Structure 1
Amino acid sequence: MAFRRDLLDELVVPDGTEAKEVALETDGDVLVGARSTVEFGVRGRNVLAGESVEFGGDIEAEADCRLDMWCDVADNVLVGQDAYIGERVHIGGEMKVAGDLDIGDDVEIDEGFEANGWIVIRNPMPTIVFLFVYLKQLLLIGEEDAAQRLVSQLVDDDEDENEDAEPVPDPLIVPRNATVSDDAWRVSTPATIGDDCRLHGNIRAESIDVGEDCNIFGSLRAREDVTVGEGTRIHGDLTTRSGDVVVEPGARILGDVSCSDLELGPGAEVDGSIRADGEITMGTTERDLE
């Protein structure tokens, strides 16, 4: 997994992520920065959340779940392996853990909990805080290989390091102080959306890079550049404050486009009006050149 110098300085939606009515579903891990609000439930492999994160639905983790202090989960928490719950966490439903449960003080679980393994009542180390402080120190001293190994180990403790092992999917990363809902995805960082994603809600970010063959049911608005991948459909307007827009071949914007420079690839379509302060470049196909 490639990562920036701060693991939570970008919204990253991996390939194949789907926002359904009640949950965000991804094949990999889910990492949520402190003080963020996710109005969906989440379903992933490992689920890790920083302090004071709010979830509007269930959490379903195939492997481990780690919630730091003051998190709030509206419904159930279902964990396939071990759970680490910080102090003053509130869970509005029930909690079921297939493995061990490490739980802090003053945790409220409205409908009770059960664990098949050991239950330890203490204040677990805030794993998100530990992860990012240690990771930053490794990067500051130039130990990028060690930092990469640390991330791989923490997001998948059971990963087989054999060369024949299946590749681990990239995680879904929600940066600090973000809001993710059916209405809007609001972050103050860049946003990168992978291929074959299906998302609902307007996306607001510093810059936006959307992969191929996605369906985004909402508008895109950024302060800087926006790229829309080949074959993607944006069901809304596309606006940048001071950036350029690239719409790759076969992509379609079902709304207006407002930007500085605009580049349209072969077969790209804009259904609404175009307002560009700079140049508009239109690609051509081989048929157009004949």
Structure 2
Amino acid sequence: MSIRGEALDRLVIPDGTTVEERDLVTDGDVIIGGQSTVEFGVRGRTVIAGERTVFDGSIESRADCRLDMWCEIQGNVLVGADAYIGERAHVGGQLMVSGDLDIGDEVTIEEGFEASGWIVIRNPMPSIVFLFIYLSHLLRIGEEEAAQTVASELLNEDDDAPDPLVIPRGSRVNDDTWRVSTRGEIGDDCRLHGNIRATSLDIGANNEVFGSLRTKRCITIGQNTCIHGDVTTRHGTVTIAEGAEIRGDVSCGDLDLHENAHIDGSIRASGEMSITNEALVDVDVGPDIDPA
């Protein structure tokens, strides 16, 4: 994860992420900014959530789980290593921790908890706050390599680890709509449900998205990706690669279309439209602005 690239300030869906029934499933870590609503259960390696994040399902983390103050989890929280639960968090089901439990005041666990290691009752510093304060200090004194090392250790990263799934602060994610106020990046081989709303989108290859895409800026759609819905950008360019399929309408400024891509619906381009048989490169998505 690139510290300089502000990786926590955009939606990042890594390769192989899927929505299975009511769960969002990924091989790597999950980082969710504060005041977000995730109307899924979440399954990943380490799960980190900022303050006042709401989960409508359960959390299953193979490694650590860090939930900041005022988090609301409707289901169970099952943790394969250590857990850090901030004050006034609420768990609607059970809390099961295979390692140590660090827990704040006035935490409510409806169906009881169990920890195999030490249990410490205190008010741990919010994980997202700690992460940003520490990394910001290292970057301010010029220790960029040290900051990258710390981020990797906090997220249990190694050279072979998959990229984390990142949902930025203030987002709302469910099987109807993924709504973020930042740009979004989707890797390869993902299967997602819901209309995606972001400032711009860069979608990789061999994905299937059961919903529409809408941005204010550019949208790129990789090879052999299928979008079951409309693709709309207010001002930007839509780039559709070879083998991609759009099962809906396309509305944009400029359109770059591979001749072997397929669009079921109508095309409305207010600017230039080009059709090519060459590989299409990603366009510049530009700076973040308010979502469509």
TM-score between both structures, scaled by the size of structure 2 = 0.92
Q: 1:189 is aligned with what amino acid? A: T
In the TM superposition, structure 1's runs of 4+ consecutive aligned residues that sit over 6 Å from their partners are none
Q: 1:19 is aligned with what amino acid? A: V
Which residue of the other structure, out of 185, 188, 192, is the alignment partner of 1:195?
Answer: 188
Which residue of the other structure, out of 229, 235, 242, is the alignment partner of 1:242?
Answer: 235
Partner residue, 1:73: 73
- Cα distance in 2 between the residues matched to 1:11 and 1:167: 22
User: What is the deviation of 1:126?
Assistant: 1.1
- Cα distance in 2 between the residues matched to 1:238 and 1:144: 39
SS in 2 for 1:224: coil
User: What is the deviation of 1:22?
Assistant: 1.3
Partner residue, 1:96: 96
Percentage identity across paired residues of the two chains: 62
String of CA shifts for 1:157-188, please: whole Å, max 9, x gaps. xx66xxxxx60110000000000100000001
Superposed, 1:248-287 pairs within 5 Å as 248-284=241-277
1:239–1:259: 8 Å Cα contact kept in structure 2?
Answer: yes
- Cα distance in 1 between the residues matched to 2:213 and 2:149: 35
Q: 1:127 is aligned with what amino acid? A: S
1:261–1:276: 8 Å Cα contact kept in structure 2?
Answer: yes
Which residue of the other structure, out of 173, 179, 195, is the alignment partner of 2:172?
Answer: 179
* Shift in CA distance, 175/3, structure 1 to aligned 2, threshold 3 Å: same
Q: 1:82 is aligned with what amino acid? A: D
SS in 2 for 1:19: strand
User: What is the deviation of 1:134?
Assistant: 2.0
- Cα distance in 2 between the residues matched to 1:30 and 1:4: 19
1:15–1:196: 8 Å Cα contact kept in structure 2?
Answer: yes
SS in 1 for 2:224: coil
Alignment length (residue pairs): 278
User: What is the deviation of 1:284?
Assistant: 2.8
- Cα distance in 2 between the residues matched to 1:265 and 1:150: 42
User: What is the deviation of 1:136?
Assistant: 2.6
Q: 1:181 is aligned with what amino acid? A: N
1:78–1:97: 8 Å Cα contact kept in structure 2?
Answer: yes
Can you give the 5+ residue segments of structure 2 that lack an aligned partner in the other structure? 279-292
* Shift in CA distance, 198/172, structure 1 to aligned 2, threshold 3 Å: same
* Shift in CA distance, 273/4, structure 1 to aligned 2, threshold 3 Å: farther
- Cα distance in 1 between the residues matched to 2:108 and 2:117: 20
Partner residue, 2:216: 223
Q: Which one is further off, 127-136 or 16-25? A: 127-136
- Cα distance in 2 between the residues matched to 1:71 and 1:216: 29
- Cα distance in 1 between the residues matched to 2:6 and 2:141: 14
Q: 1:253 is aligned with what amino acid? A: I
Partner residue, 1:288: none
User: What is the deviation of 1:7?
Assistant: 3.5
User: What is the deviation of 1:135?
Assistant: 1.8
String of CA shifts for 1:116-154, please: whole Å, max 9, x gaps. 111111111212111012223333444322221111010
| CA root-mean-square deviation | 1.3
SS in 1 for 2:134: helix
SS in 2 for 1:8: helix
1:208 and 2:207 equivalent?
A: no
TM-score between both structures, scaled by the size of structure 1 = 0.93
